[in-house]
Amino acid sequence: FIPTAEGKGLESFSGGALVQQEPDASSFPSGGIRSTFEARGYTAWDPSSPAFIMEIGHGKTLCIPTIFVSYTGEALDNKAPLLKSLNFLENAAVPVCQYFDKNVTKVTATLGWEQEYFLVDEA
């Protein structure tokens, strides 16, 4: 912590700390007995989601979206599988779209409550 002029503490971290951290994952289900060194998880910054500042009372917290995976690479959150699914979907959809337009290089999936297409005869 770095002390401020008001006598409060300001937490600081290097840019390298954004890339990967090692929190404890020993409380997550293991599917059996495992070695202590395997009971760790990793958080990694997700640059595809925007960071935001959460203000509660008189304090502000910088929230940095991350994914959480086990030592063996298994997802320990819901975001890692979502990002993998979006990547697979894009990799499959781009070649299909290129049948119609060779200039398509990226497909972005969006989610809404209801998505429909209506064909209207202009005649």
Distances (CA, A) of 61 to 3, 56, 65, 80, 102: 16, 8, 12, 23, 45
Question: Does the residue 119 lie in any domain?
Answer: no
Question: Does the residue 111 lie in any domain?
Answer: no
Candidates 91, 88, 82; CA nearest to 111 is 82
Q: Residue 14, CB half-sphere, CA atoms under 13 Å: how many?
A: 4
User: What is the domain count for the chain?
Assistant: 1
Q: Does the pLDDT of residue 13 top 80, yes or no?
A: no
Taking the C-alpha atoms of residue 1 and residue 12, their distance in angstroms, rounded to an integer, is 6
CA 52 to chain CA mean position, Å: 13
Question: Does the residue 12 lie in any domain?
Answer: yes
Question: Does the residue 107 lie in any domain?
Answer: no
Dump pLDDT digits (tens) for 70-104.
878 888 889 999 999 999 999 999 999 999 999 99
What's the pTM value of the predicted model, to 2 decimals? 0.61
DSSP 3-state assignment of 92?
Answer: helix
Taking the C-alpha atoms of residue 74 and residue 84, their distance in angstroms, rounded to an integer, is 12
Q: Most distant CA pair in the chain: distance in Å?
A: 73
Q: Which domain holds residue 6?
A: 2-77
Question: Does the residue 110 lie in any domain?
Answer: no
Instruction: State which H helix or E strand residue 90 sits in.
Output: helix 79-98
Question: Does the residue 99 lie in any domain?
Answer: no
Question: Does the residue 10 lie in any domain?
Answer: yes
Q: Does the pLDDT of residue 3 top 80, yes or no?
A: no
Question: Does the residue 59 lie in any domain?
Answer: yes
